[in-house]
Amino acid sequence: MENGGQEIPEDANEHCPGPQSESAGKSDSCEGCPNQEACATAPKGPDPDLVAIVERMATVKHKILVLSGKGGVGKSTFSAQLSFALAAMDFQVGLLDIDICGPSIPKMLGLEGQEIHQSNLGWSPVYVESNLGVMSIGFMLPNPDEAVIWRGPRKNGIIKQFLKDVYWGELDFLVVDAPPGTSDEHISIVQFLQATGIDGAIIVTTPQQVSLIDVRKEVSFCKKVGLPVLGVVENMSGLCQSLSEFKFLSVAETGEQKDMTEWVIAQMREKVPDMLNFFAFSEVFDSSAGGGAKMCTDMGVPFLGKVPLDPQLCKAAEEGRSCFDDIKCRVSAPAIKMIVDKLLSQVKVSRMEDGA
């Protein structure tokens, strides 16, 4: 809803003067409105920092948010591997971690202990490779175990500072790893970036309904704020692992466990050696309701694909390395690569050096 060019909250009173109006939160029509206090205390008029953000982002070709409705679905792992994949394709890539309270990107990119440096051009990202730079509040904490206990305005302030003060140079892609949910950080990043042109959001989920319920809210959030949904990724879509990497147990009625791995592997090697080349698959989460693909059909958004729960991918994330560097991630790396290819076919990609 709009009033004189101003975006009016959906739950506002009937004669809302508009959140940017001088009478916002103070007029008689504001009485009883759930937004009254926020409107009364919010700064009025255009934000001068937005001009600085637009100028800074002018050298960034594509901006992609990675979101999730629920924590623990592997959103940051996907953000990290998406960035590794794009960099491996010779794109210039930046990865911005705005998960203020839980910054895991430095760990997943192998950059723990690094610090931010300043130049006359602004804050310098920390580089994994010459074409992959990273910025995170994790680089600013004096102690990695330090809790970040900030209210919304301070979180919004650091996000704004990341956008206007970090000197990325020319980028083909800026991947923004957001915290789970639909809170202050999400509203801020969308508002700050919309004027600069934002491609849209990738939403990460797991297959079960308890995750999809929250992802539906995330899709609804994107639609309300005018953020295109580039697609949904179903992560941890079944455990998939080579039989040779499994641990085998015998379990007694008492619950006592005995490791039988060596015996089982020896039996397979002797009697059916080809079995050691097979992968075993098991559904960890219930997807009987159709999983992410069904949810995408219901809500009219693209489905980008599935990434299996691969212990080798988990290990790569723990060690801060790309799953594409070797052949260990034999099931997850091809799955992520297919998703990246599908994403690139949707985004009109042109490299910065092409001048497009």
Three-class DSSP category at 13: coil
Q: Quick one: average pLDDT of 276-302? A: 94
Binding-site residue ranges for ATP? 69-76
pLDDT at 353: 52
Question: Left if phi > 0, otherwise alpha if psi is -120 to 50, otherwise beta: which for 231?
Answer: left
- For the segment 308-332, the average pLDDT, to the nearest whole number, is 95
pTM for this model (two decimals): 0.84
Cα separation of 106 and 126, whole Å?
9
**Known binding site: residues?**
16, 30, 33, 39, 69-76
3-class secondary structure, 1 = coil
- Give me 56's structure tokens: 């800074």
Give the pairing type, strands 122-124 and 6-7. Answer: unpaired
| Residue 145: CB atoms within 10 Å | 5
36 falls in which pLDDT band (50, 70, 90)? Answer: confident
Tokens 């990341």 sit on residue: 162
Do residues 42 and 68 lie in contact, with contact meaning Cβ atoms separated by under 8 Å? no
Of residues 148, 159, 142, the one with CA closest to residue 97? 159
Q: Which of 66, 343, 69 is nearest to 206 (CA)?
A: 69
Provide the 3-class DSSP secondary structure of residue 153.
helix
Using a 10 angstrom Cβ sphere, with 0-12 exposed, 13-18 middle and 19 or more buried, the burial of residue 232 is buried
Residue 240 C-alpha from the chain's centroid = 23
Model confidence over 81-130: pLDDT tens digits?
999 999 999 999 999 999 998 899 999 999 999 999 998 999 999 999 99
CB 179 within 8 A of CB 150: no
> What are the CA-CA distances from residue 274 to residues 227, 240, 330 (Å)?
49, 17, 17
User: In angstroms, rounded to a whole number, what is the distance separating the alpha carbons of residues 332 and 81?
Assistant: 10
Known binding-site residues for [4Fe-4S] cluster equal 16, 30, 33, 39
Angstrom distance (rounded) from CA 317 to CA 320: 5
Please write the tens of the pLDDT for every residue from 195-242: 899 999 999 999 999 999 999 999 999 999 999 999 999 999 999 999
User: What is d(CA 42, CA 109) in angstroms, rounded to the nearest whole number?
Assistant: 37
pLDDT band for position 141 (50/70/90)? confident
Q: Residue 208 class from Cβ within 10 Å (0-12 exposed, 13-18 middle, 19+ buried)?
A: middle
Top mean pLDDT of 23-32, 44-53, 158-167 is at 158-167
pLDDT at position 273 is 94
Predicted pLDDT of residue 356: 45
Residues 6+ apart with CB under 8 A from 162: 96, 98, 123, 135
Asked if the model's pLDDT at residue 2 lies above 60, the reply is no
- Cα radius of gyration (the chain): 23
The CA distances from residue 184 to 75, 153, 181, 190, in Å, are 18, 8, 9, 10
Report the Cα 256 to chain-centroid distance in Å: 41
| Per-residue pLDDT at 266 | 96
- For the chain, the average pLDDT equals 90
Longest Cα–Cα distance of the chain, Å, equals 85
